[in-house]
Amino acid sequence: MRDFRELKVWEKAHSLTLACYQTTKALPRYEVFGLASQIQRCSASIPANIAEGCGRRGNAELHRYLQIACGSVSELEYHVLLAKDLGYISSDMYDSMQKQIIDLRRMLAALTRKVGDAR
């Protein structure tokens, strides 16, 4: 069992989730239960799955939850792109979030490989 708060990848994921919640405040009210909710849920799923994997026994379980987190990163990437294409967020905001998403994906992929090799 590991303390998820000690992982840099969890810190990045948590920071991205906070940014996503801030960003969704600017979405139209009619998107509260639509796109805003989707962005919030999939962004929060990333650090939550990292945390849950750390709370499990063995690298196989951690590996599985890291893979789920990777899937949520891809889902978030699409929802942020959709928000930009619908004109809900600026290109600058999109570029900033996209950079964070790419960095997080790289970190998650590296950790997933490392944990997978240790299984």
Which CATH number applies to 4-114?
1.20.1440.60
Q: Which long-range contacts (CB under 8 A, 24 or more apart) does 84-92 make?
A: 86/35, 88/26, 88/27, 88/28, 88/31, 88/35, 89/23, 89/26, 89/27
CA nearest neighbour of 46 among 78, 9, 80: 9
Q: What is the pLDDT of residue 119?
A: 63
Q: What is the pLDDT of residue 39?
A: 98
Reading the chain (119 residues) residue by residue, the pLDDT tens digits are 689 999 999 999 999 999 999 999 999 999 999 999 999 999 999 999 999 999 998 899 999 999 999 999 999 999 999 999 999 999 999 999 999 999 999 999 999 999 988 76
Q: Is the dihedral of CA 12, 77, 110, 65 positive or negative?
A: positive
- Per the structure block, which two tokens stand in for 59? 């690298």
pTM over the 0.85 mark: yes
Q: What is the pLDDT of residue 73?
A: 98
Q: Give the span between the Cα atoms of 41 and 60, in whole angstroms.
A: 25
